[in-house]
A and B are shown apart, each in its own frame.
Chain A
Amino acid sequence: KNEVEQSPQNLTAQEGEFITINCSYSVGISALHWLQQHPGGGIVSLFMLSSGKKKHGRLIATINIQEKHSSLHITASHPRDSAVYICAVRIYNTDKLIFGTGTRLQVFP
């Protein structure tokens, strides 16, 4: 079993839909990252959080430390949101990141 599990693996949506991507982890962490990767492209850090909720534009990230679970929400999705979204956790007392396998999102007009 992977230490970081994401669901779903693939997600398609119509433009304007509300999207949720989930991440569960089984190790002690000090922080969790949500990253975005476009095909053939680089990696952009969307959020780093260790508790509660963060919002940036149409993106919202939440984390529940007790349940070892985080969600990434996209409101009013747009085709340009199409990308792979990756959850990564920083192992407690280290600087090492462990990554989920990513969620491939496609938003159709």
Chain B
Amino acid sequence: NAGVMQNPRHLVRRRGQEARLRCSPMKGHSHVYWYRQLPEEGLKFMVYLQKENIIDESGMPKERFSAEFPKEGPSILRIQQVVRGDSAAYFCASSLGEGSNQPQHFGDGTRLSIL
């Protein structure tokens, strides 16, 4: 599958636990974006990363949320000490590079449920 791969598709956590969401970009893509879709709301930008660099994290909550895109391996969105309000669908997208002529390709998302 040459598309953007996200796992797991569904993740259930209890309040206070940690959630790790993974995103493998399309082959050859070095730019990764994370978006959050709260129930009954639109998608919101969270963070934009290139390999080993965070380019724009203006949409990330100030606490408990972090993201990385290491030199090797997938991008990880990490949520510490989860709360009920973190329940949402988290989507990852990747692109070949920066610039308006580079489309973003989306994964199928991870549905996070907090008990």
Interface range, A side? 20 to 34
Do residues A97 and B33 form an inter-chain contact, with CB atoms below 8 A?
Answer: yes
Do residues A96 and B48 form an inter-chain contact, with CB atoms below 8 A?
Answer: yes
The answer to whether B107 has its CB under 8 Å from any CB of chain A is yes
Q: Which of A35, A50, A98, A102 contacts B45 (CB 8 A)?
A: A98
Residue in B35, B42, B95 whose Cβ sees the most chain A Cβ within 10 Å:
B42
- A51-109 contacts to B, CB under 8 A, are 86, 88, 90, 94-102
Do residues B98 and A95 form an inter-chain contact, with CB atoms below 8 A?
Answer: yes
Known contacts A43-B106, A97-B33: does B55 contact A86 (CB below 8 Å)? Answer: no
A residues less than 8 Å from B105 (CB atoms): 45
The answer to whether B109 has its CB under 8 Å from any CB of chain A is yes
Known contacts A96-B45, A97-B45, A99-B44: does B103 contact A33 (CB below 8 Å)? Answer: yes
